[in-house]
Structure 1
Amino acid sequence: MVSAIRVAPTAATRAINLLRTVQYTHPPTCPCHSNPSHHHHHQNESSSLIHHARRTLTTPIDPSRQKEYAFEMASSNIRFGPGCTKEVGMDMKNLGAKKVMVVTDANVAKLDAMKQTIEGLEKEGIAYIVYDKTRVEPKESSVKDAISFSKAHDPDAFLAVGGGSVIDTTKLMNLYTCNPDASFLDFVNAPLGKGLPITSSLRPLIAIPTTAGTGSETTGTAIFDMESKRAKTGIAHRSLRPTLGICDPLNTRTMPSAVHASSGLDVLCHALESWTAIPYYERMPRPTNPISRPAYQGANPISDIFSLQALRSTAKYLPRAVKDPDDHEAQEQMLLAATLAGVGFGNAGVHLCHAMSYPISGQNPARYTQPGYVVPQGQPLIPHGVSVAVTAPSVFRFTGPSNPDRHLAAAEALGVDISQVKKEDAGHVLADRLARFISDLGGQPKGLKDLGFDKTHVEELVQGTLPQKRVLVLAPNLSGDEDVQREKDQLRGLFEDALEF
């Protein structure tokens, strides 16, 4: 028998224990995917940590200034494969659904995806109601109409068949049907709404995407245009995410070339923004309760894997999918890329391209309509993918210094030989590659001027971007609340730079 021997701790041991405690409380600032602008030199790290520990022991902790120390991963269940739409009736039966609200739009209602869905439900004897008035790029008014319809029928499950607009609208129908007494602004993202957490259980929702872009089948985010504020906003919470996403490549074969392009550009920006967002451990404040941890948390090691692979696939397959409507391999791979990017940004978040896109598409002063889109006559439309991509070169030129290695890795994924590129040129190299990539797709605006904006619109665009705090807090290099005037100046410069590329 060996007895335990206790040894009095040495000064060195106590110092090591102190360092470990500090490192646990304040995550190290240089993991493999960190932001170099926050790095300490290794030789100075021990003294820095000890200094930080002393300061922590003598200074009262302000919860609002504590940085995050954990991240969470949440995603819908995903089924992927050609022809799997026909299984949806069995899925609803397995969920115990008795009355299903099927949500689509007027165009998708005529397509085979909808036919397969209805046949599946009828084969299993499941009652259903169809709502086919979803608006492409939803507005507050169209969302409220859909919610009223849903409340009147009170289904026990939801089934979305369509693009991101349909899936997002269905999420909101589910939320407010399950919270019939809630005010509409209760759950809308602050500062435009109250941003309350969702505490009630929602009903099963199955999403069948017919476009390869938004990744909405994987996320807890729903976006719409708040007309009264002339800016887009939405609701973001893990509870909104679909129970199951059925990703059937056969359903994307009916996409027009213009929709392939715009949807693919959304995938591109989802991947780039989540890959370059601030690291999760730099986000503040740390939640006092895990229910308050936001869906968009900052770059993290798991989201990184999904985002970078989505970027590589988009670089390879989007040009092919846009060029050749019969390239089914490219279409299938873009649907997969959209789903991968959805898992990535659904947990890491997006930042400047998306924040700036919301006033772009919401304001649309020239009533621009993207060529190749089927919309009601006279209805202007800047597709979401176009509105995010049009600022991308400017955005990543601006964010480049925050983490040159990440921006160079993104450029390499897009086909750039980075072997001779200096780190200080990372943002410019990525921006130039993005400008060429977007232009080479054909039919895309090459700056805000092509959408009808000029310098006189910049101030209003800035004002429409400022409320997007949920994503702006993830933007590297942006001043944020620490210097609001400088943040406005930075946004103003970004919009001016994005007028043309």
Structure 2
Amino acid sequence: MRIDYGVTRAPARLFFGPGQRRAIGRAAADLGERVLICTDKRLAALPVMEEILNDLKAHNLQTIVFDATEPELPLSGILECVAAYRDFDPQVIVGIGGGSCLDLAKLVSLSLTYPGPLSQYYGEFKVPGPVRPLIAVPTTSGTGSEATPVAVLADPERTMKVGISSPALIPHTAICDPELTTTCPRGLTAISGADALAHAIEAFAAVSRPADPHLAMERVFVGKNTLSDNYALSAIKLLFANLERAVEQGDDIEARSAVMLGATYAGLAFGSGGTAAAHAIQYPVGAQTHTAHGLGVGILLPYTMDFNLQDAAADYAEIARAIGVADSRESDEVAARAAIASIRALFSRIGIPSTLRDIAITEDHLDSLSALSMNAARLIENNPTPLNPAAIRQILTRALQDA
């Protein structure tokens, strides 16, 4: 394992474990007096939200709830929330929910701190400074947004979803309570977990760059490094061992805890190591099919690993040995193939489709998808095997035909 260079970007505080949601009130009181909660209608109606609101009230905090977060986070929803609560002037923004709720909290905080439009911040290192303090409380185990410098939104002027990447967007406090995930539906648990596993695998096998002292100041995603490697490998082991049980037995708090910890570790890994081909290609695939991010990533990941085998065999072999599907007596290539086969089999067991045909991609889409994938330049550049439109079309063709 490379030990000469490492980068970690993380929340100032990260509280993990069953019942940790009861720290929200005190954590918010440390940061301000007026609190805006960003969540969705389903969560806002649950008894746990009343519990959280009572906790905030007990700490003498003025609290307003925005409960209209939409999946895939359209720009219009961000602007609606900002317009509604600018006069309230919240000092703390709390995101409670899945990735869209957490990303909404990040982007509302950004919008309340600096002038618009948000489009001027698309890309890396364009946020000019600190935003209003954020508390992230995930209720799914997938995006890792509670620990990352990234927020993703859907802008109608762009073909694909776009990202804003800046260390300023890392939440001040992450509160990860696996009890909040026990009501997460089976299908959402599966695709969220697939996304988390992809985060960890892509970070672990990302391109390795020279350890320039300025690298972490110029790139949010620096590529493979020793600190992200440790988070990534821990995440992979937790997710591989526990995701299926969390999908099948949603009330199993031990499995839920392991998967949530794995997803958070994966967020810490890709927050500096970055993601790669599966995520880059999913953006146009998701835009074309209007399917969930984690679903597309889950379909694509084994095919991108197949493509990367020539350059990432040693990394995939290390993964195989860590999850117990190969040992040191086998060559790296044999072990790497075992890792890919095992990921493919896990995804099949939890209901992830095996081909892009299953989400209505056809041969006619492949040229445009190949070209559009190249727009995710920071992810394309992070892939261990160089990518161009022809290479991406090769991946897509295999993912369409399951050849």
- Aligned match of 2:57: 122
CA distance in 1, matches of 2:318, 2:181: 30
Of the three residues 270, 278, 284, the one matched with 1:353 is 278
CA distance in 1, matches of 2:49, 2:207: 40
For the structure 1 residues 288 and 88, does the alpha-carbon distance in structure 2 shift closer, same or farther, using more than 3 Å as the test?
Answer: closer
Letter aligned with residue 117 of structure 1: I
Alignment of 1:338-417 (within 5 A): 338-364=263-289, 382-417=291-326
Of the three residues 177, 180, 200, the one matched with 1:251 is 180
- Aligned match of 2:19: 83
CA distance in 2, matches of 1:128, 1:299: 41
- Aligned match of 1:436: 345
Structure whose CA Rg is larger: 1
How far 1:266 sits from its partner (Å)? 1.0
- Aligned match of 1:33: 2
- Aligned match of 1:462: 370
- Aligned match of 1:369: none
Letter aligned with residue 167 of structure 2: R
CA distance in 2, matches of 1:222, 1:494: 26
- Aligned match of 1:445: 353
CA distance in 2, matches of 1:403, 1:353: 14
Instruction: Work out whether 1:497 is the aligned partner of 2:398.
Output: yes
- Aligned match of 1:307: 232
For the structure 1 residues 500 and 440, does the alpha-carbon distance in structure 2 shift closer, same or farther, using more than 3 Å as the test?
Answer: farther
CA distance in 1, matches of 2:301, 2:162: 20
- Aligned match of 2:141: 212
CA distance in 1, matches of 2:256, 2:214: 43
- Aligned match of 1:53: none
- Aligned match of 1:336: 261
Letter aligned with residue 435 of structure 1: R
Could you tell me whether the CA contact under 8 Å between 1:101 and 1:157 is conserved in 2?
Answer: yes
Tell me which moved more, 317-326 or 422-431.
422-431
CA distance in 2, matches of 1:257, 1:111: 18
CA distance in 1, matches of 2:81, 2:353: 32
For the structure 1 residues 314 and 288, does the alpha-carbon distance in structure 2 shift closer, same or farther, using more than 3 Å as the test?
Answer: closer
Could you tell me whether the CA contact under 8 Å between 2:151 and 2:164 is conserved in 1?
Answer: yes
- Aligned match of 2:193: 264
CA distance in 2, matches of 1:339, 1:235: 19
Letter aligned with residue 181 of structure 2: T
Output one character per residue of 1:324-361: Cα deviation in whole Å (capped at 9) or x when no partner: 12221101111111111111111111111111111111
- Aligned match of 1:184: 118
Could you tell me whether the CA contact under 8 Å between 1:275 and 1:299 is conserved in 2?
Answer: yes
Could you tell me whether the CA contact under 8 Å between 1:399 and 1:477 is conserved in 2?
Answer: yes
Could you tell me whether the CA contact under 8 Å between 1:277 and 1:351 is conserved in 2?
Answer: yes
Output one character per residue of 1:411-433: Cα deviation in whole Å (capped at 9) or x when no partner: 23344224564434555433322
Could you tell me whether the CA contact under 8 Å between 2:125 and 2:166 is conserved in 1?
Answer: no
- Aligned match of 1:146: 81
CA distance in 1, matches of 2:83, 2:5: 39
Partner SS for 1:217: helix
CA distance in 1, matches of 2:251, 2:381: 41
- Aligned match of 2:250: 325
For the structure 1 residues 500 and 494, does the alpha-carbon distance in structure 2 shift closer, same or farther, using more than 3 Å as the test?
Answer: same
CA distance in 2, matches of 1:493, 1:143: 37
Instruction: Work out whether 1:135 is the aligned partner of 2:70.
Output: yes
Aligned sequence identity (%): 29
Letter aligned with residue 260 of structure 2: L
Aligned length in residues: 401
CA distance in 1, matches of 2:323, 2:8: 26
Structure 1 gaps of 5+ residues are 1-31, 35-68, 190-194, 365-380, 480-486
How far 1:150 sits from its partner (Å)? 3.9
Output one character per residue of 1:222-243: Cα deviation in whole Å (capped at 9) or x when no partner: 0122333321211010000100
Could you tell me whether the CA contact under 8 Å between 1:114 and 1:161 is conserved in 2?
Answer: no
- Aligned match of 1:374: none
Output one character per residue of 1:458-490: Cα deviation in whole Å (capped at 9) or x when no partner: 1121232111011111101114xxxxxxx1100
Partner SS for 1:254: coil
For the structure 1 residues 468 and 152, does the alpha-carbon distance in structure 2 shift closer, same or farther, using more than 3 Å as the test?
Answer: farther
Alignment of 1:219-234 (within 5 A): 219-234=148-163
CA distance in 2, matches of 1:82, 1:249: 5
Structure 2 gaps of 5+ residues are none
CA distance in 2, matches of 1:115, 1:266: 30
For the structure 1 residues 423 and 289, does the alpha-carbon distance in structure 2 shift closer, same or farther, using more than 3 Å as the test?
Answer: closer
Partner SS for 2:400: coil
Could you tell me whether the CA contact under 8 Å between 1:186 and 1:196 is conserved in 2?
Answer: no
Letter aligned with residue 340 of structure 1: Y
- Aligned match of 2:29: 93
CA distance in 2, matches of 1:463, 1:269: 22
